[in-house]
Structure 1
Amino acid sequence: MLEVRNITGGYAPETPVIRSVSLDVNAHEIVGLIGMNGAGKSTILKHVLGLLEPFEGEILLEGGSLSTDPLKFRSRISYIPEQPRLYEELTLWEHLELTKLVYRLEEAVFSERVKRLLDVFRLADKVDEFPNTFSKGMQQKVMILCAFVAAPDLLIVDEPFVGLDPLAIQSLLELLIEMKREGHGILLSTHILATAERYCDRFVMVNAGQVALRGTVSQMQEQSGLPGATLEEMFNHVVSGGAVR
């Protein structure tokens, strides 16, 4: 589904933030993107989303690129950012309506999804209110609702658990599993390694702008020379400068 091929990028060609990064996300799987603050995770996501253009390499979604067909490329992605991005002048319902228009959703599909999601995240009584008055956690729920209402091929999720209450976190995880089961691909960036290890199928561990480990837990154990290690133990090994194969 998503192919990131040897991209080098960032904000200035003379000082790239990421170097020769490759990863892929297939249908029916959740891929965890993990690394320390400043490792390059957000820069990778910005390139996938088309907010930055790589200096080298290419990014393909279902074989097409942003440059060849930008509308088709963007219509197949939804995004949950770490920090909510909302329109001050729009109500919660108007945010959802805008999502329907942007993704050209049929009314019946939109109505079914919205009703369920509003119930799941307990926001049905807030639809006529302005999300800029909500708490951080409630604003994050609005971003989650918009992403899942769109439900395109690829979902990109950047630190989605920050500010969410435990019930909302569990609801989000259940929705991610459901999307995976239905054939969507999910690229999940998170610092919560225990949750990532439990729910992700594969991982891409980034350190200092490069991919240090990749694959399933067992594959990364082999790469790091740490048989039986947890994801957190391998993470600590990599960021401490430990050798990898």
Structure 2
Amino acid sequence: MDLLHVSIKKAGYESNESIIHSIDFELQSGELIGIIGSNGAGKSTTIKGMLGLLAHMDGSIKIKNGCTYSYIPERPVFYDELTLWEHLDFIAAVEELEQEKFHSDAERLLKKFSLQEHKHQFPQTFSKGMQQKAMLVLAFITKPSFYIIDEPFMGLDPMATKLLLDSLQEERIRGAGILMSTHVLDTAEKICDRFLMIHHGTLTAIGTLGAFREKCGLHNGSLFECFHYIAGEAADE
């Protein structure tokens, strides 16, 4: 069975206004799906629908029995009164993580993302890039069944981006699924198995890069080129 099945007939922030509609897809173990689309296309609204944050939604979000997930938002969110280590300790308590393994995993992740020296500091004092790395550490510590990630490359320097990509690959090998919204199409082309293209709130195209190329008639086209072709075609309809 799929880790996640999303079927949204229509959804929005007001009862009389539909922002997204006809969004239907599944996420499988070890799969990395890229959600792509222009600003305002409905990517973040789709993620909010999956997280149960939309007051008005006609549809269903089905998560495989026993599966857990981590959500990494585009803008980092922290508790003002907690240090980074206290954030980690709080998650460990809520998720009932085994203490010895938690400490080992936490120290490994902090070292990996160069945050060991800052673990007893408040994340609000961090730079934007450090805050983004802190969010990644908090997400990875629970080893969830799948991840929902909104614009993960924002604020990350090249070294941190490489660390993130390596970490995502490790999680995929472990069997975790990854659903990632991004504007960075050249990177998405290299790492994603499939793509969901949302345009004006509708799932306009879904499939591999090969399927996108076939749809466009661009046999050697990049994801960037296919994206613009499909977007232009949808605008003409």
TM range (shorter): over 0.9
Q: Please point out which of 11, 14, 28 is paired with 2:13.
A: 11
Deviation at 1:115, TM superposition (A): 1.4
Task: Give 1:150's aligned residue.
Answer: 142
Deviation at 1:171, TM superposition (A): 0.3
Provide, for residues 136-178 of structure 1, a one-character-per-residue CA deviation record: whole Å limited to 9, x for no partner: 1111111111000012101111101111111111000000000
Q: Quick one: percent identity of the two aligned structures? A: 44
Q: Provide the C-alpha distance between the structure 1 equivalents of 2:172 and 2:127, rounded to a whole number of angstroms.
A: 29
Provide, for residues 96-142 of structure 1, a one-character-per-residue CA deviation record: whole Å limited to 9, x for no partner: 11111222211132122111111111110111111111111111111
Task: Give 2:52's aligned residue.
Answer: 50
Q: Please point out which of 38, 41, 47 is paired with 1:39.
A: 41
Provide, for residues 11-52 of structure 1, a one-character-per-residue CA deviation record: whole Å limited to 9, x for no partner: 013211101101111001100011011000001111111212
Task: Give 1:186's aligned residue.
Answer: 178
Q: How many residues align?
A: 234
Task: Give 2:98's aligned residue.
Answer: 106
TM-score (norm 2): 0.94
Q: Please point out which of 192, 212, 223 is paired with 1:220.
A: 212
Unaligned runs of 5+ in 2: none
Q: Provide the C-alpha distance between the structure 2 equivalents of 1:140 and 1:3, rounded to a whole number of angstroms.
A: 28
More moved, 154-163 vs 105-114: 105-114
TM-score (norm 1): 0.91
More moved, 178-187 vs 216-225: 216-225
Q: Is the 8 A contact 2:150 2:180 kept in 1?
A: yes
Q: Provide the C-alpha distance between the structure 2 equivalents of 1:91 and 1:229, rounded to a whole number of angstroms.
A: 47
Displacement over 4 Å in runs of 4+: none
More moved, 99-108 vs 122-131: 99-108
Q: Provide the C-alpha distance between the structure 1 equivalents of 2:215 and 2:59, rounded to a whole number of angstroms.
A: 25
Unaligned runs of 5+ in 1: 65-71
Provide, for residues 198-239 of structure 1, a one-character-per-residue CA deviation record: whole Å limited to 9, x for no partner: 001111011000011111111122223332211100111122
Q: Is the 8 A contact 2:32 2:192 kept in 1?
A: yes
Deviation at 1:53, TM superposition (A): 4.8
Q: Please point out which of 52, 58, 61 is paired with 2:63.
A: 61
Q: Provide the C-alpha distance between the structure 1 equivalents of 2:226 and 2:61, rounded to a whole number of angstroms.
A: 28
